[in-house]
Amino acid sequence: MHLVLVESPTKTKTLEKFLGKDYKVLASNGHVRDLPKSKLGIDIENNFEPQYIVPVKARKHIKSLKEAVKDADIVYLATDPDREGEAISYHLIYALDIKNYKRIAFNEITKSAVEEATKNPRDIDNDLVNAQQARRVLDRLVGYKLSPLLWKKITRGLSAGRVQSVALRIIVDKEREIENFKKEEYWSVSALLSCSDGDFLAGLREENGKKIEKPGIKTEEDAKRIKEDLEGASFVVNSIDQKEKRRNPLPPFTTSTMQQEAFKRLRFPSGFTMRVAQSLYEKGLITYHRTDSLQISSEAKKIGESYIKQNFGENYYKERIFKSKGKTQEAHEAVRPANPSLPSGNVNNLKKEEAKLYDLIWRRFTASLMSEAVFYSTSVEVSATNKSNYTLVSSGSVLRFDGFSKVYPVKFEENELPAVKEKENLNLQKIDAEQHFTKPPARFTEASLIKELEKHGIGRPSTYAPTLDTLTRRNYSEKIDKKYLKPTEIGTVVCDLLSEHFPFVVDLKFTAKMEEDLDKVARGEKKWRGILKDFYEDFAKTLDKKEIEIKKEDIMQDKTEEKCDKCGGEMEVKLGRFGKFIACKSFPDCKNTKPLDGGEDHENDEEIFCDKCNSKMVLKQSRFGKFYGCSSYPECKNIKSLEEDLNIKCPDCKEGDVVKKRSKKGSLFYACNKYPDCEFTSSQKPKKEE
DNA sequence: CAGTGAGCGAGCTTCCGCTTGACTT
């Protein structure tokens, strides 16, 4: 009997089918040996020797695998063809005490690929294994040395790491950008013009040959002056530019782009997307969902091609090759439908969210094999003359051939301009001058943060979602408006400490540099222990120095004059995992605490005042979520819901606003905010009354 | 279908990357 070992249990059945009854296929379920969780597990003195153990979770897998190994004549190690996969094979040999083995690798599960692989076995690539060990040990050293320093200097339970700390830094940087942002006023001027064929809107671009700089006209004075001047101007079509534009479909999904699009189009958080994808994968509907590859098997391509030709027509198909960006480990294919001739309408027994994600994956893949969308864009330049000479521009575009957008709709504004002629005189209908303000940069969402991390090669497909989860579990960041990532007070303090004292761990380039070194190890050009030695020599010195240099008091600069109202003693400002608070100095004898400043900041800039006593409202947290409470609580018990402004007037009393509420049992309903004066409720969102 | 005003400090926490859990965003 031949035993084949793979990583994922879902692969085993398909492989057994391909290989026939002489073969038994079992899964390792990921790594089977690792550093211990409870201690560092690295013998630094002894040249960074890792002390591997079999984690509890892997024990039961190991047990059944061992029995199978006993009965096997030969073991084929068919873990993924990448750094981690090579290491898993290496660890399997030790954990299972395998004597007779061969390493095989394939990056697609097709009969031919598997047969080819079994014919070409190789040995374990020790250089690749060592690259993985260097990665593993370095991450452990960083994480398990820096985290305890944070416990000591800030508060318990905190963490730092090569990936999570950069992610935190990205969020904190953005927040600072927003804090420092000063909004600027600007004005836009547009003209509604008519030609023989109809009306169109043109925006001002130049005055006396000088381009209006972005974002627009600086002052109201200028805008008014130009408006008045234009109102008496004569308008003529200067030139018409018509162009055919082509838009290519996007490549099929990787883990990262799938998470981004599922967030954008379906509002799925990345962890949720991965759970749904897992279930689709287990049902055999999609290929493996943790990948950074854009490769597509030739078989799948053929099926996709004939599907497109049959269902949309020959002209909708186009042969395409997508190259993966940057360094990818190409262990898998892109995320694609397992059977490209199966659109979502034809799949039964799927949960709603599974159907939605499958549909998105199918469309994205199918579109990637389709022809470009073609549209015609027209740009009309209009000259206006009065005291000054002006140039105005209007553009429109019309879809001529939908191509891939037939299955993967993309946003583009279709607006058709009337048929103007060159040198045609135009009639002015109206000039509009509009005031605008520049907007602060947007905070990151899960989707855009993953994109940013991936761009810098930080993290892997299997870790994007867990990394985001770590940031919230540590209370480093929170979501506002259910969408945007905002650093918390504690997150900011941690980030600042790391940035000042251990800049490498928040450096966007650190991972890239590490990867270069690991590649050298993988090519046999560098020794893995040497890499660790180089890194650790500096790191250990800095650690020792910072241990003394960083003073807890320096981090906690806020002071308080408050006296304890329980024991009369002094109080001090402390930093807990949920931010700053005031506590009695005689802790733990007196456990009195108070909030600092009466509450958290507002989510937005505007201050909200109590409509009963006119005090400030502050953000509070209850077991139901956040809400605004009056700062003179308990004298005034007024509260205000945080739910988004629905902007709907109450249909009963016509005075109150409709707000979303949650009952004791947790169900949602809509009600009037004048309750108890008005008792309007509804389970449906009421229609807006104009 | 009408609510809500944490708790944090110290009880020993922590990394990243493979894999699947169980559960309605």
A447's enclosing H/E stretch is helix A446-455
Residues A162 and A265 in one domain: no
Instruction: Give yes or no for CB of A14 within 7 Å of strand B.
Output: no
| Strand B positions within 7 A of protein Cβ atoms | 1-25
pLDDT at A690: 45
Whether residue A581 is contained in a domain is answered as no
Whether residue A212 is contained in a domain is answered as yes
A439 Cβ neighbours under 8 A, 6+ residues apart: A183
d(CA A668, CA A683): 7
Which residue segment(s) compose the domain that A645 sits in? Answer: 622-690
Whether residue A507 is contained in a domain is answered as yes
pTM of the predicted protein model: 0.85
- Which residues from 83-142 of A have any strand B atom under 7 Å from their CB? 83-84, 88, 135-136, 139-140, 142
Whether residue A598 is contained in a domain is answered as no
**Given A90, A288, A536, A628, which residue is catalytic?**
A288
Count up the domains in chain A and report the number.
5
Residue A54: count of CB within 10 angstroms of its CB: 17
**CA to C1' distance (Å), from A602 to B21:** 38
Residues A17 and A53 in one domain: yes
* Residue A28: C-alpha distances to residues A63, A88, A92, A174, A290 (Å): 11, 8, 8, 41, 17
Confidence of residue A317 (pLDDT cuts 50, 70, 90): very high
% of chain A exceeding 90 in pLDDT: 68
Q: Which of A365, A359, A357, A346 is nearest to A303 (CA)?
A: A365
The one-character DSSP state at A183 is -
The reply to whether A144 belongs to the active site is no
In sign, the C-alpha dihedral spanning A326, A332, A336, A341 is positive
Nearest nucleotide (C1') to the CA of residue A505?
Answer: B15
Residues forming beta bridges with residue A568, ordered by sequence position: none
d(CA A683, CA A672): 12
**CA to C1' distance (Å), from A278 to B21:** 11
Whether residue A593 is contained in a domain is answered as no
Give the side-chain half-sphere CA count within 13 A for A144.
15
d(CA A111, CA A106): 11
Whether residue A215 has a cis bond before it, omega within 30° of 0? yes
Residues A97 and A153 in one domain: no
d(CA A406, CA A363): 9
CATH number at residue A397: 2.70.20.10
- Which residues from 158-197 of A have any strand B atom under 7 Å from their CB? 158-165
Summarize pLDDT for A197-240 with one digit per residue, the tens: 999 999 999 999 999 988 999 999 999 999 999 999 999 999 99
d(CA A257, CA A265): 12
Whether residue A359 is contained in a domain is answered as yes
Summarize pLDDT for A112-147 with one digit per residue, the tens: 888 888 899 999 999 999 999 999 999 999 999 999
Residues A212 and A228 in one domain: yes
Residues A13 and A118 in one domain: yes
> Do residues A23 and A6 lie in contact, with contact meaning Cβ atoms separated by under 8 Å?
no
d(CA A273, CA A469): 13
Whether residue A572 is contained in a domain is answered as no
Residues forming beta bridges with residue A393, ordered by sequence position: A203, A381
d(CA A340, CA A307): 8
Summarize pLDDT for A488-501 with one digit per residue, the tens: 989 999 999 999 99
Nearest nucleotide (C1') to the CA of residue A38?
Answer: B14
> Do residues A78 and A105 lie in contact, with contact meaning Cβ atoms separated by under 8 Å?
yes
> Do residues A377 and A417 lie in contact, with contact meaning Cβ atoms separated by under 8 Å?
no
Residues A261 and A314 in one domain: yes
Residue A83: count of CB within 10 angstroms of its CB: 25
Confidence of residue A655 (pLDDT cuts 50, 70, 90): confident
The structure tokens listed for A603 are 């989510």
